[in-house]
Chain A
């Protein structure tokens, strides 16, 4: 899911992976993207496995490499889905994932992943 300001209505699987590996910092329309993650838990693991093809340890190692080589900054991480949701709702360009979005979450929109 993404902040309402995000103009795209779906995201390619390859683009999502590139964003969460730090290779891309922009959506396909050129606007700036702010990826955020959960610190752990089932939703985090399922997201990494299904969309990045990685486990949490590989994901963490990859971002440590970016940080300690000066080539990137880690995505913000959140302890709970609620705080992640609030951050995405309040931050232009933010994308993240939770196990379920409520219909009452007016400030975020779901972003289907396409092949």
Chain B
């Protein structure tokens, strides 16, 4: 954190020396609603209808020179019992682009992984009220979204007919937020962390914008490990590799995308002399498609699928399947509204013991809606 503060101080120092008219300020606010037929979802009291889903962010960015830019984004979210009213730093970085083939970012940097990891909290850019939860669980986005460290990036032309390659490589530290879903699940099991578990992470992403207009394919590997201690308990997640392979096709009014993700790891909780292994082999994928009916109306559908292959996949706790129908209406360039129907089978993702004290039904249906403002 020390050098992040230094970076910001350097940026602020330069800022005071030049015109503030170059500073760009953008932000967004969203308000969501969930109503589910059976289980309570995402720590909200969704079975009775819940509005406890608010997101807001404001970003400041300044180009200090043609090659150097600094910026910061402050973010707050409340999702049921997760998040809270406090602002936290979403990202804060210095970005030095030597040329289009090579640039560096340092600070708290958004983590590129799959099609949407680094942008999963930017509701305004998506048709979907909820992204495919098997791949981008909103209750844990605070963990995957960014890391503290550095990144090298660039774009490489590969010939007149080859399209272009974009790459990102990063290394740093990731932290399990105390107000996020992973910690909440441990809390529901009686393990109370007072310090956020953390660990080293490194990885990258390479995406090929193919010469076939609109078609993009990519691959992202991420290596990470986590360690933490709570009173009487320690958490150890040995180094493991997550991967994502994806493709996207956007042409005219049509949009299609698909992704396959895998995260095999062996989480171990140690309580005194007792060790509790929690083997996970998370495999998830989704396919989605959408069509823009008019300038203001967009509609689409996706199917999202998850299994924990390390456990009995016939049990609802070890799988999740979600059929989704979505619609979005843009009132103008700033305001929009969304509505979405979910048909959930299994409860391996997004359900918590504390908000479902009487157990979980294997299936539930859900209505999700959101309104948002972005400038």
Chain B residues with CB under 8 Å of A65's CB are 119, 122, 125
B97, CB-defined interface residue at 8 Å: yes
- Our pick among B26, B110, B250 for the contact of A71 (Cβ within 8 Å) is B110
Q: Is the CB of A73 within 8 A of B63?
A: yes
CB closest chain-B residue, reference A40: B333
Assess whether B26 is in contact with A67, with CB atoms less than 8 Å apart: yes
Q: Which residue of A lies closest to B62 (CB)?
A: A73
A70→B105 contact, CB < 8 A: yes
- Assess whether B166 is interfacial by the CB under 8 Å rule: yes
Given A24-B100, A67-B24, A73 and B330 contact (CB-CB distance below 8 Å):
no
Q: Is the CB of B59 within 8 A of A70?
A: yes
Report yes or no: A60 in contact with B95, Cβ–Cβ below 8 A. no
- CB 8 Å contact bits of A14-42 with B (1 = contact, 0 = none): 10001000011110001010000000000
A74 interface hit (Cβ, 8 Å): yes
Report A-chain residues with C-beta under 8 Å of the C-beta of B73: 68, 70
Which residue of B59, B92, B95 contacts A68 across the interface (Cβ within 8 Å)? B59
Interface of chain B, main secondary structure: strand
CB of A109 within 8 Å of the partner chain = no
Inter-subunit contact A57/B292 (CB<8 Å)? yes
Contact with A along B30-59 (1 / 0, CB 8 A): 000000000000000000000000000101
Q: A107 vs B124: C-alpha distance in the bound complex, in angstroms? A: 38
- When A30-B99, A55-B292 are in contact, do A68 and B164 touch as well, CB less than 8 Å? no
Query: Looking at the complex, which one of B91, B99, B213, B295 makes contact with A70 (CB distance below 8 Å)?
Result: B91
B109 touches which of A25, A58, A70 (Cβ 8 Å): A70
Q: Give the residue of B100, B105, B214, B292 whose beta carbon is less than 8 angstroms from that of A26.
A: B100
- Residues A26 and B99 in contact, CB atoms below 8 Å apart: yes
Complex Cα–Cα for A61 and B330 (A): 12
* A68 proximity list for chain B (CB < 8 A): 26, 28, 57, 59, 73, 119, 121-122, 125
Point out residues on B near A: beta carbons under 8 Å.
24, 26, 28, 57, 59, 61, 63, 66, 69, 71, 73, 91-93, 95, 97, 99-100, 105, 109-110, 118-119, 121-122, 124-125, 155, 164, 166, 213-214, 250-253, 292, 295, 330, 333, 374
A-B contact pairs, 10 of them (CB 8 A): A18-B100, A53-B251, A55-B292, A57-B295, A61-B124, A64-B124, A68-B57, A70-B71, A70-B105, A73-B63
